Amino acid sequence: MQLETYVRENEARFLEELNAFLRIPSISTLPEHTPDVRRAAQYVAARLTEAGLENVEIIATEKHPLVYGDWLHAPGKPTVLCYGHYDVQPPDPLELWRTPPFEPTIRDGNLYARGSADDKGQMYMHIKAVESLRALHGGRLPLNVKFLIEGEEEVGGWSIAKYVPPHKEKLKADVALVSDTALYAEGIPTLCIGLRGLVYTEVECSGPARDLHSGLYGGAVPNAVYGLIEVLAKAKNADGVIQIPGIYDEVEAPAPAELESWKSLPFDEGEFLKKEVGSTQLTGEPGYSVLERTWARPTMEVHGIAGGFTAAGAKTVIPARATAKVSFRLTPKQDPDKVIAAFRDFLAANTPAGTKLELRVLSSGPAIVVNPNHPAIAVAARVFARALGRPTVFTRSGGSIPIVGDFATHLGIPTVLMGFGLPDDGLHSPNEKYNLKNYYTGILTIAEFFEEYGA
Amino acid sequence: MQLETYVRENEARFLEELNAFLRIPSISTLPEHTPDVRRAAQYVAARLTEAGLENVEIIATEKHPLVYGDWLHAPGKPTVLCYGHYDVQPPDPLELWRTPPFEPTIRDGNLYARGSADDKGQMYMHIKAVESLRALHGGRLPLNVKFLIEGEEEVGGWSIAKYVPPHKEKLKADVALVSDTALYAEGIPTLCIGLRGLVYTEVECSGPARDLHSGLYGGAVPNAVYGLIEVLAKAKNADGVIQIPGIYDEVEAPAPAELESWKSLPFDEGEFLKKEVGSTQLTGEPGYSVLERTWARPTMEVHGIAGGFTAAGAKTVIPARATAKVSFRLTPKQDPDKVIAAFRDFLAANTPAGTKLELRVLSSGPAIVVNPNHPAIAVAARVFARALGRPTVFTRSGGSIPIVGDFATHLGIPTVLMGFGLPDDGLHSPNEKYNLKNYYTGILTIAEFFEEYGA
């Protein structure tokens, strides 16, 4: 039997297993979902065992567990370290979901659920690729595989970052494989060879010792919400250029050939604005294309802000406290620690009169770039091109997968970023979806990658 | 029996009745407390009836009821329209209360509860003053009184503002009496002769059609939270001077004599900062004293802001929506409608790229000033001075009591603003309190005001 036939004949079960996985609300950032996160780890471990992986273990960490498994009976063949994450982002705002986020629902060939694309649906393809190969090869695989699946990707990946350095021998491999990215566009085989880094922080502003009556005190006392507004507004200009001194010092432009290749990618700003963004216009640094701005330029975003009275109606307080979530995306060569220091200095230099600012760093990781000439990347490009029937393109992503940098630093290996999502999958948004055809194609393509890389 | 003796002998009951009133969480801005607001109205109506008021009625409105009652059997004598409000501000942040906001608790001679000073404890003095006089004068009063008590003061007073103009005959009076202000300082008899106006709004900013992944889209799309930050930051400079064109056009300085008298008031900036404000420094327009800044200058404050992800942990979204509560305090001569128009123009002229701004006006009312030479004010000043043993001072307040402007406009009467609160009562803040001695002194002083104004 051929791989393709096996995958096709097992589609219904592959979907059913993924649905069961998606029904577990493994939201890593919300403490009340800790038991669900653990349940998701157990689900992954059980499926790894069923697929024939050995030495499967749930590794306790200070927060959410890691799941490990391996199959190492192909001496002389390369070893692939498969990485993915079983945790998901919170689903809010809930009222914008057409169907419940943890009740997977199919509409128009797409599977709607939180985590369907990011990353449960994608990491599960690796397991099903292993299963398929073993089924066809009498329980054997064409190469060695190790799986390391984490439950903290959406909250900074602290535990896996801590686990990798002292376990170099255990995790030793020739290449890592990650499916947590998207096709450049439907039908275009895409290998991502660059990811931005991320520094995620909270800024808290305090003003008066308590909330004060704005009539009696207004005009003479600091306002914590306004103080936070003032300082954050100074951090970018109207064009989105970051105004924090030193922040662009280490930013390097991509190589001319890479920039040139991006120009040949199909991209329609009008469609992008209308179908994906939905605002009145696009924004950002003048002089850079959208791909450059999102793949190769640092950015600063405020993800949320809260302070004072925000219920319905009117309350006339001068708030004592306000908090914002602020992050920076980083380009290769930018040192996260230097960015944090620059932001800290900026806050200190721009603290509004009468207020105090506190900076808390929640996570940080550098950007990464992968050499497209590595043998595993070359095999992946060939297999991918054959699967979708057109040449593979090399892109970057503006997102961040900090573990890819850790694999490079501590294990000395590159990562094949072979994702099957689509740009409009709505990661981190309401109505996240994953295209079912891509799910099955992904299982097949990954199995073929294992086969040819092991040949 | 003398008034003073009657009040002293009934202190325990006066406190008990007030406590029962304070236990009703009549938070007018929160829909879930609508039944409590109604209960508070019924409580007021019952106490008015017990005190001997006639024609007591609970007047239904589109939102919270008004309570009316009168005693009009002193022909040839003046009529006083007693106003107060039985609704309160929300108690949040709850965790900062030392004792529950709706469980009145005495500590160090102060009664701690939401509404103790603003305004339940103060409006209730009027009722007990009437009771005391009738008890001593065989069921008669030295003048005519009408009571009009509302339940929407903390949400803009829309219903009473609508009720007054068509009920001029019913509400006809020589002067209004309001106890919703504070002594300038403990022991200083104070009549407030000026109040700032208030325009209270919500500003909503929208950017992308849905929350977007900040890695994939960051750098090319607008952020609703940041857009709101940008536009609001432009509305004031670092000194707190409002930057909205035209906003100061109609602002007039107080008369030199009034300014001069403020200079003679005891005021210690260090104490004010340390005991009342608790921030690192005071702020506000250069060139004006704290009293000028809070009593006689317009201000803009952001009372609350919310948008994006604000729970614990990290979520990397570019928020689609954000909202802020923004108000302006106005000085005499400033037209609220002109201020609203100026703010609307400012928002339109400063809408950040890619965002949309929407302005919703929740309430508005002009500032007021009262002539200190009016006979009722003169009597009030004399009685007040005698009660506390030192000359009465004339002040303004930075707060707003919109109904006072309506009484002037539609009934053609001035208002005696005779309040017995203290500057550190914590109105709208956690641990709001009312000094019990002032409660009893207030009942006595108001009774004496009725007696002498009727003489």
Mean pLDDT, rounded, of chain B: 95
Q: Indicate the residue of B90, B277, B400 with minimum beta-carbon distance to A208.
A: B277
Q: Indicate the residue of B218, B221, B312 with minimum beta-carbon distance to A282.
A: B221
What was the pLDDT predicted at A187? Answer: 94
- State the Rg of chain B over Cα: 23
What was the pLDDT predicted at B395? Answer: 94
**CB < 8 Å from A in window 277-306 of B:** 277-285, 290, 293-294, 297, 299, 301-306
Number of helices (H), then strands (E), in chain A: 15, 18
To test the contact with chain A by mutation, choose from B303, B356, B397, B433 the residue with the greatest count of A C-beta atoms within 10 A, namely B303
A279:B217 CB<8 A: no
> Considering only CB atoms, which chain A residues are within 8 Å of B210?
96, 278, 426, 429-431
Decide if A243 touches B, using CB distance below 8 A: no
> Considering only CB atoms, which chain B residues are within 8 Å of A303?
214, 225, 308-309, 314-319
pLDDT band (50, 70, 90) for residue B22: very high
What was the pLDDT predicted at B255? Answer: 87
Q: A127: distance to nearest CA of chain B, Å?
A: 26
Question: Does the pLDDT at position B353 exceed 90?
Answer: yes
What was the pLDDT predicted at B402? Answer: 78
A306:B302 CB<8 A: no
What was the pLDDT predicted at B128? Answer: 98
What was the pLDDT predicted at A372? Answer: 83
A222:B322 CB<8 A: no
* Spatial CA neighbour of A236 closest among A305, A302, A322, A334: A302
**Which helix (DSSP H) or strand (DSSP E) does residue B404 occupy?**
helix B402-406
User: Please, are residues A431 and A98 in contact by the beta-carbon 8 Å criterion?
Assistant: yes
Q: A388: distance to nearest CA of chain B, Å?
A: 23
User: Please, are residues B45 and B69 in contact by the beta-carbon 8 Å criterion?
Assistant: yes
B304:A317 CB<8 A: yes
Question: Does the pLDDT at position B20 exceed 80?
Answer: yes
Residues with Cβ within 8 Å of B431's Cβ and at least 6 positions away in sequence, in order, are: A210, B96, B97, B98, B112
User: Please, are residues A357 and A365 in contact by the beta-carbon 8 Å criterion?
Assistant: no
What was the pLDDT predicted at A241? Answer: 97
Q: A352: distance to nearest CA of chain B, Å?
A: 7
Q: Torsions phi, psi of A292, nearest 5?
A: -65, -45
What was the pLDDT predicted at B319? Answer: 98
What was the pLDDT predicted at B371? Answer: 85
A139-192 confidence digits (pLDDT tens): 999 999 999 999 999 887 889 999 999 999 999 999 999 999 899 999 999 999
Does the reported pTM lie above 0.80?
Answer: yes
What was the pLDDT predicted at A157? Answer: 86
What was the pLDDT predicted at A200? Answer: 96
> Considering only CB atoms, which chain A residues are within 8 Å of B206?
279
What was the pLDDT predicted at A401? Answer: 82
**Which helix (DSSP H) or strand (DSSP E) does residue A157 occupy?**
none
> Considering only CB atoms, which chain B residues are within 8 Å of A221?
277, 279, 282-284
Tracing tokens 């002040």 back to the chain, one arrives at B395
User: Where is pLDDT greater, at B424 or B90?
Assistant: B90
pLDDT band (50, 70, 90) for residue B354: very high
**CB < 8 Å from B in window 301-360 of A:** 301-319, 322-325, 327, 329, 352-356
Q: Indicate the residue of A209, A294, A302 with minimum beta-carbon distance to B278.
A: A209
Instruction: Report residues of chain A scoring pLDDT below 70.
Output: none
And the tokens for A332? 């290769």
B135-152 confidence digits (pLDDT tens): 999 999 999 999 999 999
> Considering only CB atoms, which chain A residues are within 8 Å of B236?
226
B304:A282 CB<8 A: no
Residues with Cβ within 8 Å of A401's Cβ and at least 6 positions away in sequence, in order, are: A153, A178, A180, A195, A368, A417
Question: Does the pLDDT at position B1 exceed 80?
Answer: no
pLDDT band (50, 70, 90) for residue B399: confident
Instruction: Locate the chain A residue with the closest alpha carbon to B181.
Output: A216
User: Please, are residues A68 and A151 in contact by the beta-carbon 8 Å criterion?
Assistant: no
A212:B309 CB<8 A: no
B308:A305 CB<8 A: yes
To test the contact with chain B by mutation, choose from A210, A321, A361 the residue with the greatest count of B C-beta atoms within 10 A, namely A210
Over residues B435-455, the mean pLDDT reads 97
Sorted by where each starts, the structural domains of chain B and their CATH numbers stand as 3-195+368-453 (3.40.630.10), 197-251+298-365 (3.30.70.360)
And the tokens for B165? 């103009």
Over residues B395-404, the mean pLDDT reads 88
> Considering only CB atoms, which chain B residues are within 8 Å of A280?
222, 354-356
Enter the ipTM.
0.83
What was the pLDDT predicted at B237? Answer: 97
CA atoms within 13 A on the CB side of A9: 9
Which DSSP string corresponds to B350-368? TPPTT-EEEEEEEEEE--E
Q: Indicate the residue of A314, A324, A325 with minimum beta-carbon distance to B362.
A: A314
* Cβ-based neighbour number of residue B270 at 10 Å: 8
B279:A209 CB<8 A: yes
Question: Does the pLDDT at position B9 exceed 90?
Answer: yes
First CA to last CA across chain A, in angstroms? 19
What was the pLDDT predicted at A319? Answer: 98
What was the pLDDT predicted at A315? Answer: 87
Q: Indicate the residue of B233, B280, B293 with minimum beta-carbon distance to A230.
A: B233
What was the pLDDT predicted at A261? Answer: 86
B121-180 confidence digits (pLDDT tens): 999 999 999 999 999 999 999 999 999 999 999 887 889 999 999 999 999 999 999 999
